């Protein structure tokens, strides 16, 4: 009996993958990728690059303007960022603890989660 071997997941490197039509799926983390794109070069080709999306699912990019959809307390400060505040010229650095948007405000540079932002 022959067991088909599929490439490991490019995200979590688990070998528990299976085909689903034209894609391969990781049973552990749920990541899907093209079955024709195999090997480490496919994982870094930008096809599987992380896309930061706002609360409505709209992709965000460096330099976009966003609006807060919820009042947010700033840790380590008595300041509160109010709902409806427009933030201009955001940056999307490597994600750190789920905080995937960096912006400059009058209180300093802060990191925010994209789930509290909508594209302006």
State the Cα angle at 10 between 96 and 47, rounded to 5°: 85
Low-confidence ranges of the chain (pLDDT < 50): 1-2, 38-47
- For residues 109 and 107, give the distance between their C-alpha atoms in angstroms, rounded to a whole number: 7
pLDDT digits (tens, 9 = 90+) for 56-67: 989 999 999 999
Query: Is beta strand 80-81 parallel, antiparallel or unpaired with respect to 72-73?
Result: antiparallel
Residue ranges and CATH numbers for the domains of the chain are: 1-49 (2.20.25.10), 66-119 (2.30.30.40)
- Asked whether the whole model's pTM tops 0.75, one would answer no
- For residues 112 and 100, give the distance between their C-alpha atoms in angstroms, rounded to a whole number: 6
- For residues 65 and 59, give the distance between their C-alpha atoms in angstroms, rounded to a whole number: 12
Q: What pLDDT, on the 0 to 100 scale, is given for residue 21? A: 78
């Amino acid at each position: 009996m022959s067991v088909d071997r599929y490439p490991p997941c490019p995200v979590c490197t688990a070998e528990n993958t299976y085909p689903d039509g034209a894609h391969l799926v990781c049973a552990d983390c749920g990541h899907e990728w093209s079955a024709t794109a195999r090997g480490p070069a496919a994982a870094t080709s930008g096809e599987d690059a992380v896309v930061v999306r706002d609360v409505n699912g709209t992709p965000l990019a460096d330099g976009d303007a966003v609006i807060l959809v919820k009042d947010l307390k700033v840790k380590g400060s008595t300041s509160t960022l109010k709902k409806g505040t427009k933030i201009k010229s955001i940056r999307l650095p490597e994600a750190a603890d789920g905080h995937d948007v960096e912006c400059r405000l009058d209180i300093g540079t802060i990191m925010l989660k994209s789930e509290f932002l909508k594209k302006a």
